[in-house]
Every structure is written in structure tokens, then in C-alpha cells.
Structure 1
Amino acid sequence: MKTYCASLLLSIVCCFFAPTASFAQGCSDAGFCTMGALQPDQAPEQASLKLRELRILHSVSITVSGALVQSSNIDIQWTLGQHWQLQTKLTPYQQTVSEYFQTQGLADAFLTLTRQVVQSNQGQLLMSVGAKIPLNRATLTAPNGQVLPMRYQSSLGTYDVVAGASWLSRRWLVAVGYQQPLSTPAIAYRREALLAAGISPEAAAYIVRYPETVDYQRGSDVMLRIERNFRSARWNGHLGLLNIYRLQPDRSRQASGELLPIVGTDGLVVNLLVGTGYQFSTRSGINFLIARQLYTRDRRADGLDRLWLANVGWYTRF
């Protein structure tokens, strides 16, 4: 309990007082908002730099239910010729801690290929295709051996395809994207099984908020990012909205054996993102971000219910 309270206090301090980031996941997406053309805080001149880039990022967030989530990311981008870029992103560690449960494990890997379609004095048009690869099947358990809800899974447990495009100028970035799950995770979270395993009454009251996910099918998402950028010789900043709309409700198998929609899991999520960065040289710099969820769907069976998020990252080009 003391450890959780200390971690939660630290995350609150980070969220409110940390400077704000760049190449970071927003509050509530399934990972595709930081892939290729869909990334925040892109500069038009970046596409003309024929360099490899390594990014290391650490993220701290607070969920709607008060859980603390920490994750680390490694991101490498290669320029291929004049118009192509390959991005690989790995989340080797994610930890979720609440007053009642704690999990940690591998998360997801991402692979994205981006093409510069148009380049002019007015801006650039980029298009990307990519994939999300799970590093586990979403089967993390409580100490009693019972599977926990998606909020406590370090990976979504699905193979996904992603496509998107962005138009970026010196001042504006507009990006649209689509993410489609191709598989189902192995998670078989049943609330009654966890309750029957003898958890405390407080933990039982806490866990009721999470929908059951058996043979869980996540709906597809569309994304719209609108961002205003501010740039000087070494400093940059951005302010934007990240909008994600789930086209279909998620589905889960009920005790009757039927695979039914989970009511309230489709619809819109809106996040506000504010970031800044400092460039030490043409080859390295740091970035910071704060994101705040402004509007969300009624239910979040996928566990992507982050209310506040703060990131700090470092990058180098070589």
C-alpha cells in the first residue's frame, strides 16, 4: 500500500509538472498513433535527413480507476533512399500497479514502412502501412492464479494492421489512420472466477468496473490528429487533439456461450496533447509530453483508460 501511494504521488507530480513530449503514445490509443506518418511533432525537414534515428522513451500515466502504468520504449528509424523510411518500435517492459493488483511484462512490437508521396514548399504528404505484433497473449494473472482484466495486461495480445497518412507543414500536422485487429488475445477473464478465488471485499468492489473478456474481440479504430507546431532554432513545441473512434463495439463470449457486443465500448475518445523539445545539435535532443483525456467511451474493455500521461524521451541520429 505504501509503495503504491508513493508511486501514485510521483506519477501525479510527473503529470502536472513535467515539461510536455513528442514521439509518444496518446492517452487512449492501441499504439498506432506513434507509428510512421501518424506520429506527433513531425518536422518537414526531418524527411530530408538521411540518417538513422534511435529514440528511447519512458512513460508514466494514471488511469481512470487510479492505477499507475509505466512503460519504456525503444524506437529505431531507418531512411531508405530518398522517399522511404522504416520504423521499428519495441515496448520491452510495462508495469501496472494499483492498490489491489500489480503486473509487469513484455508489451508489443511495431513495424512501419512510410513513403513520402509529395514534397513541396507548402508541406509534405506521407503515407504509412504497418503492423503491431504482441509480445505476450494477455494472460497475466493475480497471485491466486486467476486471469486479470485487460487493464492489467501488458499487451493487447493481438496482431494488428495499420494504415495512415499525414500532411505536415511548418506550422500544422493533420494525420488520419486506421487500425484493424487480426486476431484475438488468449485472455479469459471472468469476474466470477476472480471473485470466487477469495480476493478481499475492497478488491472485489474495485474489479466490478471491468467488463469480462473471454474470446475477446477488439473493434477497429480510426484516428484523426490535428496539431499546431511552434519551432525555433533549438526549441520546438506542439499543441494538439488526438481523436480516436472505435467503429464497432468490442465483443466477449458470455456464460451462455454466445459472442456478444460489450455495450458502450464503441464511439469516440478525445485527448489533448501538449509537448516541447530541445535540440542539442542536429543529431540529438530531448522531448517531453503531457496528455489529458478529455472525453471517452462509456466502457473500456480494452483497458486503454489512461486519464493523464507524461513522457520523457531522448533521441540521437547516426
Structure 2
Amino acid sequence: MEKRTLTILFLIILTGLLDTRLVTAQGCSDAGFCTMGAMKPDQAYNKKVELKLRSIEVSYYYGESTTSPIINVANLDASFSITNNLGFQIKLPYQWVTGNFDNTSGMGDISLSLTQRVASNERFDINATIGMKIPSNDADKKDSGSKRPASKGLSLPMYYQTSLGSYDFVAGGSMISSKWLVAAGVQMALTANNNNFWRGEWFPPTYPSESYVMTYDNATKLKRGTDVMIRVERNFRFSNYSFNIGLLPIYRITKDQIADRTTGEYQKLEGTTGLAMTLLSSFTYNFNVSNSIKLSYGRKFTDRKVNPDGLTRVQVFIVAYGFRF
């Protein structure tokens, strides 16, 4: 049964590699809750060797959007044990974006979480996480005019923003064994952001291609809908290295909302709910019990129709160095 499952997953990867037109969906690494606490992929698990309970991971993320922006993120992910069963995690990202409209950079949103081990035996652990994301700015960076003077001062789409601009609540849990990780989580935006992108302002002569401008969705004072995720991951662990493959479906269960530019009243956006499915894989090499390097790759093959939050990615690459102490 496991061989059949792995064959199907590898065939899906191959299909995605051969036809990138099918591969677009939400990039959870940007929203962040899929890598918080119990929901984090490729978690260390070894009942025979005592694991070091503190870790620092430095990573570089490269993401290709469905329009022109390329999103780069340097991230510091630190985890500390408070007790043997309770841990604290903080993630500090710095993001820079290059695209046809402009280039931007700045601190990303800060993620904070507490994870409690609620059950443990020789076969598996069960963990629960609660946390939040804190915005680094109001998600309304303006065009610098460096590429087109006519657009200077206009609000940029969310793809160019380094923050989602909202305070978010995050909760979830997982079951992890030597072979499997099954996790579920929810992310709920508690506030709206202050983005003022309105594509009508960018139509010619401001930007020469109206069809390109239309690839960005309006995001005025965006209130993101609530996301629910499930992670199913199969791990293959050896003495010095491991690799895994898994699926990450994210379902937006409530509609995004934007404010009317005239009345200020919020309107729900059709096409913003639904499933975004990601296929993920990674390879980790452990130099010793303290040092490791990890390569990760993700492809998306389903998407929502409308994505004003700017989280849609074609594919992502991540390289990370981890230190446990």
C-alpha cells in the first residue's frame, strides 16, 4: 500500500514538472502558519537518541509568482524548550521582491507560537500549537517610480508587500511517528490591512499593458478569509540523512473582503474561497546531532480563482541550515 502511495505521489511531481501551467496555488511559506509549531514539516523524531530541544534554522526562500514578481525571503527560525513538553518558536523573516511594477524590501511578519506535547508513547507523539502573526507594516508600500515615473506614489499589489498587514490567530496540532506526520491547523486574520491597490489607477498610460495590470486583484483594505490546512507527510529516516514527500491542502473557508473606494463599505469577493493544493518534498543531511542542511521544493497544482492577498506561487525552493543545541 505504501509503495502504491509513493508511486502516485512521484507521478504527480513528474506531471507538475512537465507542465508548469497546471501548477499555481497559495504559497503557505509566506503566510507562515503551515511552518509553525506542530504544523512544521520534516520534524525531528527519534525515540532512541535524545534530541536537543533548542534549535536555530537560517533559510533562504525563492518563490515564483503567477505574474512577474519573484519573492525572496531570508528567515531566522528559533525554537526553545520551556519544559520537556512545552516549546516556544519565533520566526523573523526579511523579504525582498522584484517585479515589473517595482522592487521592494523589508521585514516580513513575525510569527510567535507555543507548542505543547499532549501525548507520547513509543510509537508516536501528539502535539498542539497556539500562536499569532504580528504585521511588520500596514501592507501599503508605494511605487518608487524607479521603473515608471508615472506610477510613483501609487499603492502596490499585495505581491510586492513584505507584510500581510494583519494580526492573525493560529492554532493546530499534529501526530508524528518515525514514518508519518499528519497535521491540521487554522489561520484567522483578526484585522484588515491598509493596502490601497486599485488596478484602475495603473491602466494605460500609467502602465502600458492593461491585460498585465488585470492579473493583479484589487486589495483595498483587505480582510483575508480564514484558512484551514492539512499536512500529510511520509518520512524516510536514515542515520545521517532523511527525505520526505507530502501533500499540503489549504482551504479558504470564508471569502476575502475589500472596502469600496467610495463608501468604505466592505464587499465579499467571489472566487476567493476554495482549495489550494501543494505537493512538497525535502531532503535533509545531518552532519552530526547538532548540524544539518535541508533542501525543499514545492509545486502547486490547484488554486482559488481570485487571490488579492498575493500568496499565489508557481513553485518554491528553500535551502536551510539548522543548528540544534
Smaller-chain TM-score bracket: 0.7 to 0.9
2:108 matched to which residue of 1? Answer: 107
Unaligned 5+ runs, structure 2: 1-16, 18-25, 146-151
Q: Is the 8 A contact 2:188 2:226 kept in 1?
A: yes
Residue pair 1:147, 1:194 contacting (<8 A) in 2 also: no
Q: Could you give the per-residue CA deviations for residues 235-279 of structure 1, whole angstroms, max 9, x where no partner exists?
A: 100100011000111001124423111110111100000100100
Percent identity between matched residues is 34
**2:255 is the alignment partner of 1:273:** no
Asked whether the 8 Å contact 1:250–1:262 carries over to 2, the reply is yes
Could you report, residue by residue, the CA deviation over 1:266-304 in whole angstroms, capped at 9, with x for unpaired residues? Answer: 111000001001000001100010000110101111100
RMSD: 1.9
Partner of 2:235: 229
The 2-side partners of 1:222 and 1:270 are apart by: 12
Partner Cα distance (2:207, 2:213) in 1: 11
Code of the aligned partner of 1:295: T
User: Is the 8 Å Cα contact of residues 246 and 267 (structure 1) preserved in structure 2?
Assistant: yes
**Relative to structure 1, is the Cα distance of residues 115 and 161 closer, same or farther in structure 2, using a 3 angstrom cutoff?**
same
1:48 positional shift: 5.2
Q: Kindly indicate whether residue 292 of structure 2 is the aligned counterpart of residue 282 of structure 1.
A: no
Residues 139, 89 of structure 1: alpha-carbon distance in 2 compared, 3 angstrom cutoff: same
The CA deviation at 1:168 is: 0.5
Aligned residue runs from structure 1 range 1-318, under 5 A? 27-28=27-28, 30-45=31-46, 49-91=51-93, 93-142=94-143, 143=145, 144-195=152-203, 198-202=205-209, 204-257=210-263, 258-318=265-325
Q: 1:100-122 deviations in whole A, cap 9, x for unaligned? A: 32222211111110001111112
TM-score where L is the length of structure 1: 0.87
Cα displacement (A) at 1:186: 1.2
Three-state SS of the structure 2 residue aligned to 1:121 is: coil
Matched positions, count: 292
Secondary structure in 2 matching 1:244:
strand
3-state SS of paired residue (1:193):
helix
Find the aligned partners of 1:189 and 1:98 in 2 and give their Cα distance.
15
Shift of 1:50: 4.2
Alignment partner, residue 3 of structure 2: none
Whether the 8 Å CA contact 1:57–1:312 is kept in 2: the answer is: yes
Query: Does structure 2 retain, via aligned residues, the 8 Å contact 1:28–1:306?
Result: no
Once residues 255 and 214 of structure 2 are traced to their aligned partners in structure 1, the CA distance between those partners, rounded to angstroms, is 19
Q: Work out the CA distance in 2 between the residues paired with 1:112 and 1:255.
A: 36
Indicate conservation of the 8 Å contact 1:150/1:302, yes or no.
Answer: yes
- SS of the counterpart of 2:314? strand
Question: How far is 1:49 from its partner?
Answer: 2.5
* Paired residue secondary structure (1:301): coil
Q: Give ranges in structure 1 of 5+ residues lacking alignment.
A: 1-15, 17-25
Q: Is the 8 A contact 1:44 1:169 kept in 2?
A: yes
Residue identity in the other structure for 2:126 = L
SS in 2 for 1:312: strand
Mark the CA change 1:178 to 1:260 in structure 2 (over 3 Å): closer, same or farther: same
Query: Which amino acid letter does the alignment assign opposite residue 103 of structure 2?
Result: Q
Aligned residues of 1:271 and 1:295 also touching (Cα < 8 A): yes
3-state SS of paired residue (1:188): coil
- 1:241 counterpart letter in structure 2: L
Residues 43 and 169 in structure 1, CA contact (< 8 A), matched pair in contact too: no
3-state DSSP class of the match of 2:309? coil
Which whole-Å CA distance do the structure 2 matches of 1:248 and 1:217 have between them?
A: 10
How far apart are residue 79 of structure 1 and its match? 1.1
The answer to whether the 8 A contact 2:256-2:269 is kept is yes
